[in-house]
Structure 1
Amino acid sequence: MSVGIVMLVHTALGRAEQVARHWAAAGCPVVIHVDAKVSDRRYKAFREALSDVALIRFSSRHVCTWGAWGIVAATQDACEMLLGDHAEVQHVFLSSGSCLPLRPVDELKTYLAARPRTDFIESATTADVPWTVGGLDEERFTLRFPFSWKTQRRAFDRYVEFQRKLGFRRRIPDGVVPHMGSQWWCLTRQTLQAILTDPQRAEYDRYFRKVWIPDESYFQTLARKHSTHVESRSLTLSKFDFQGKPHIFYDDHLQLLRRSDCFVARKIWPHANRLYRVFLTDAEGAMKRREPNPGKIDRIFSTASERRTRGRTGLYMQSRFPREGWEGGLTGARYSVFQGFTELFEDFEAWLSRTAGCRVHGQIFGPGDAEFSGGQQVINGALTAKAALRDHSPRTFLTNLIWNTRGERQCFQYSPRANQAVAWDMAKDGNAHVSVIAGAWAVPLFRTRRPFEEIRREAARLQRIEHEFLDALRSPWAKARAQIWSMAEVVEAPSEALQASIDEMGLRTARRLPELPEMRDLTGFGAFLQSLKNQGMHPYLMGDFPAEVDEPAQDEEPDDKPRRPYMVKK
């Protein structure tokens, strides 16, 4: 018994010559089809280079355009020549010029001799095929496709839409159930002969000539009609990415190809000298005698596809940004955001650093330069504190901050005075833990000496900004873990808010917090809020404060320091 090889060659004629000689040296007759788009000069040189090998012949040439009938016609002619010239051939193996045998050819012969009636061809109905790309599955068999999808995309799409609107449907020939699969198959002589001599072949050819990508459906469909035993798998390792483009194998894929145990792999980079040297000359060390199992390396390809389409969470390519929502996550690690805490508590950052044991920054997004911990101007990854660079792309600044310091929990302050370009980004980031004391932005205004009319305008602006941020945190699209208290709630029971914030960071302790940060002096704050109301501004985010606060609601005993009176301008 012998195995015949049909090679469809388009480019890299030198490599195709090497592989053809390899097949022929093992006693396999080879018929080569060279794309008619290859120049006559190169084609003539290619034929002359192989003229010394008696087992190699060339079939008539066709123009092979992706997704068109020419590839099927070329395969038909080459198979007819192979079967007509070599009666000893019992299996025909279809390959391309970029295919590379991974195992000794004698192993393939032995494998097929043990399965004389088995056709190895991937063949599944459209309902069962998960890999169709371009939105066409059943329609590829019921519409017409006179335009090229690759070179005439606009005409292709418009003509498809036109046929859909008309409700046009082609009639599928009787007795034909459309199937799809990889074009790289290995068929028995009986099945292939039956396909090529079918009395209805002219009708089938006319029909499939107008099918989209017929090389993935013609033999796959007709093999189901004539074969007595179909194994719906290919003996050729051929992997595709999420866009339907074939993966290319390079020299560093040597061990990966060995692990597949497949007989042939496609598509090999023409300059992968190591692969061609190892698999075409080292018959003993090429592969072990095992059942072909490309599934062994599927996990690697799935991971590669995931890495390409989703990337690593929190890490973007330097060459391009992903489409929003496709980045797999804005940041690469969990972090905490505190809004209103530094306004209400003295030395809150130092207290949080002691209590949580993590890196605590000040106001990262301004106003002014970023306040990195320890007053640093440049931190991990050469991330600078300069406001101009930060505000050029605040979202990227946040991403880089978390990625560059991953492995260490980052905490930073935020406020309505900060750059709000990242407000929604943090709200939609599942890595963010945001704690907000609503209305605490009013404390610095309360302590300032600015004219009251200016204070009123600033209070209205800050309240509007914080209200929008709180809406983002509460929206259905928010993924951040948000804790929101009114300022009045925290003043009444500060330990509860502080304990909850620490617990949410995953730093749960067996006992209550050993110390609390000191709250700022709020004597006269109620009167300040009432004055804002009297001037027409309604401060509602901080909750209900009495117009006069005689004693602050501290967890500790109040000190005896004198309170600063608050003056309201009449």
Structure 2
Amino acid sequence: MGVGIIMLVHTAFDRAEQVARHWSTAGCPLVIHVDQNVSGKVYDDFVLALSTLPDVQFSKRHRCEWGTWGIVAATQDAAQMMLDDFSQVNHVFVASGSCLPLRPVQELVDYLALHPQTDFIESVTTADVPWTMGGLDEERFTLRFPFSWRKQRFLFDTYVQLQRLAGYKRVLPNGIVPHMGSQWWCLTRKTLAAILLDPDRMIYDQYFRRVWIPDESYFQTLVRLYSAQVESRSLTLSKFDYQGKPHIFYDDHLQLLRRSDCFVARKIWPFANRLYDAFLGADENGARRREPNPAKIDRIFAKAVDRRVHGRPGLYMQSRFPVKGRENGLTCAPYSVFEGFSDLFEDFEPWLAKQTGARVHGHLFAPKRAEFADGLRVVSGALSDSPVLRDYNPRAFLANLLWNTRGERQCFQFGPRDTIKDIEWDIARDQNAHITVISGAWAVPLFKSNANFAEIRSEAARLQQIESKHLKILKSQQTKAQVKIWSMAEFIEAPMEPLQGIIDEVAHEGGRGLAEVPKMVDLTGFGQFLQNLRNQGMHPYLMGAFSVVHDTSDHSKPKPKPYLVQ
């Protein structure tokens, strides 16, 4: 009972030689295939370097390009040589030159001796394969692929499209059911011989010669015809990213590879000296005799793939930044936007900061400067209050502010006087945004000003038009932010409940009662002011229903509710 190793080598020959010596020293016969693309001198030097090892042979060379038949042909010839020349071999294990044994070879031999009739090969139907790329799952078996995907991409794509338009479909020989899986398998001598000596082999070879990536389907399909017991998994640890490219293992993956308990890992960086020294040296861990369990590290790889594809929320990176929609959220944390509060209340920012412990800014998008909390000119992350820098990319400005201050709730004021055009849709679509609006409150500073009334009327019309469009955005079906809107008249009639809701939302500890309330500006005469605007031909509708004589005194005290006596 023994294990024979087929090595497919095309690069990093110094490492391939090192691993080949490791297999040979453990008593495993080897058949090595070297890609025909490798120069004759490199090949000759490699053969010479291994010439002193017993039971090492080199098979006929084929040109092995990814996705083409050459890899299968190379494996077939090497497997036939292994069966012909090494009768003691019961299992044939396929590895590459960049594979690295993770456990003592004797453990692999003993493990396979316990499963003498089992074929270890990943073999699943196309409907159950999650890793196919480019939409070619069943079509890789029903269309023809005579062109190289890498070197003849235009011809490849054009020929696929022509076959689709023509409705061309190949017929599977002998009614076989296509299966797919990793090319790194370990088959019993009996099953492998049955595949290679099949009387219909020429028919199968001719069919699979024009299948796309046949090394992932040829043996995986035919093993189902002959195997008495298929264990649909590979004994080789190989991980792939979301693009179907293999993960490369480096020195800092040492502990990760040990935790997998797998016999072999692929693909190892040629300069990972620490890995080669650790796994090809003396067995420091002793015999583990444990079942290979790559699932131990699947969670880590799944997290790594998710991080690469989606990134961290609110953190932009070069690979995703230019492509709209590929970012993982505009921002990284919840934040609050207040519209109209600083107009209606005196010193609203310091009051809210005191009540909640949050950092409360002024109008971050004010025309003259970003009004950071406490009057700062530069905040975390070297963000300047310069309007030029901010308005160059307001979306990035907001994302950076929240990323650099994560862990601390950020609040800021917003309104129609700000430069809102380039940022309002971003905030409205941001699930982290909590927007609270008192519509029409922008009229209070106009009411308090001593400007010419004609100028006030013109400015009021402009601001109302801006806020009206803004409110339509906030009420849009595309808005994902949490939005609360009150008209000014509604709010000042009963301000305590909305203010308490703001405290509960922003404060780190919810449920705190209001110890003090912000001071509302004196609105005596505001109703007449609105009537004057109407008299001048403007309709100030966003403020709500204000009477000409409007009492705004002592709104901090809750009013008793009327009741009916029967």
Asked if Structure 1 and Structure 2 have the same fold, meaning a TM-score greater than 0.5 normalized by the shorter chain, the answer is: yes
1:539 matches 2:540:
yes
> Residues 464 and 291 (structure 1 numbering): CA distance in 2 closer, same or farther, change over 3 Å?
same
Distance 1:319 1:164 in 2: 33
Aligned to 1:174: 174
Which digits, 9 at most, give the CA deviation of each residue in 1:467-522, with x for residues without a partner? 33323322233222111111111122222221222223356766752322122222
How far residue 115 of structure 1 moved from its aligned partner, in angstroms, is 0.8
Q: Which moved further from structure 2: 411-420 or 77-86? A: 411-420
Q: CA deviation at 1:450?
A: 3.6
Q: Which residue does the alignment assign to 2:499?
A: 498
2:320–2:327 CA contact under 8 A, matched in 1: no
8 A Cα contact 2:434 2:481, kept in partner? yes
Q: In the TM superposition, what are the counterparts of 1:474-493 in structure 2 within 5 Å? A: 474-493=475-494
Give deviations 1:193-248, integer Å, cap 9, x for gaps: 11111111111011111111110000000001111100000000000011111000
Given that 1:492 and 1:554 are in contact with CA atoms closer than 8 Å, whether structure 2 keeps it comes out as no
Deviation, structure 1 residue 551? 2.4
How far is the alpha carbon of 1:371 from its aligned partner?
Answer: 1.1
The letter for the 2-side match of 1:423 is E
Q: 1:310 is matched by which residue type in structure 2? A: H
Identity of aligned residues (%): 65
- The offset of 1:365, in angstroms, is 1.4
CA offsets per residue over residues 8-46 of structure 1, 9 Å max, x none? 111111111111111111111111111111111211111
The corresponding residue for 1:160 is 160
Is the Cα contact below 8 Å between 1:532 and 1:538 reproduced in 2? yes
Counterparts of 1:261 and 1:393, CA distance in 2: 49
Asked whether the equivalents of residues 278 and 286 of structure 1 are also in contact (C-alpha less than 8 Å), the reply is no
Distance 1:286 1:475 in 2: 65
Aligned ranges 1:14-93 → 2 under 5 Å = 14-93=14-93
Look up the match of 2:447. 446
Aligned residue runs from structure 1 range 142-541, under 5 A: 142-285=142-285, 288-317=288-317, 321=321, 323-420=323-420, 421-505=422-506, 512-541=513-542
CA distance in structure 2 between the aligned counterparts of 1:542 and 1:158, rounded to whole angstroms: 62
Deviation string, structure 1 residues 247-281 (Cα, Å, up to 9, x no partner): 00000000000000000000000000010111111
Give RMSD over aligned pairs. 1.9
Unaligned runs of 5+ in 1: 558-570
- In 1, are the aligned partners of 2:330 and 2:426 still within 8 Å (CA)? yes
In structure 2, what residue type is equivalent to 1:348?
A: F
Shifted more, 6-15 versus 475-484: the winner is: 475-484
How has the CA–CA distance of structure 1 residues 113 and 339 changed in structure 2, closer, same or farther, with 3 Å as cutoff? Answer: same
Note closer, same or farther for the CA distance 1:512–1:100 as it changes in structure 2 (3 Å cut): closer
The one-letter amino acid of 2:439's match is: A
Deviation at 1:394, TM superposition (A): 1.1
Tell which deviates more after alignment, 417-426 or 397-406.
417-426
| CA pair 286-133 structure 1, distance change in 2 beyond 3 A | farther
Q: Structure 1 pair 354/215, CA: closer, same or farther in 2 (3 Å)?
A: same
Give the conservation status (yes or no) of the 8 Å contact 1:102–1:286.
Answer: no
Shift of 1:57: 1.1
Q: Displacement, 1:81?
A: 1.0
Whole-angstrom CA distance in 2 between matches of 1:319 and 1:284: 41
- Structure 2 residue aligned with 1:99: 99
1:338–1:414 Cα contact (<8 Å) kept: yes
Shift of 1:54: 2.6
Does structure 1 conserve the Cα–Cα contact (< 8 Å) formed by 2:251 and 2:272?
A: yes
Letter in 1 for 2:482: R
Q: Between 178-187 and 370-379, report the one with greater CA deviation.
A: 370-379
SS at match of 1:234: coil
Deviation at 1:404, TM superposition (A): 1.3
Q: Which runs of 5+ in 2 are unaligned?
A: 558-566
In structure 1, distance between residues paired with 2:210 and 2:553: 82
Cα 1:507/1:234, change in 2 over 3 Å: closer
What displacement does 1:397 show? 1.2
Cα drift, residue 535 of structure 1: 3.9
Larger displacement relative to structure 2 (522-531 or 1-10)? 522-531
Counterpart of 2:119 in structure 1 is: 119
* SS of 2:412 mapped into structure 1: strand
Q: Deviations over 1:292-325 (max 9, x none)?
A: 0000100100111111111112222267516433
Letter of the 2:151 counterpart? T
Give the secondary structure class of the aligned counterpart of 1:483. strand
Residues 358 and 507, structure 2, Cα contact 8 Å, conserved in 1: no
CA distance in 2: counterparts of 1:63 and 1:510, whole angstroms: 72
Could you state the TM-score of these two structures normalised by the residue count of structure 2? 0.94
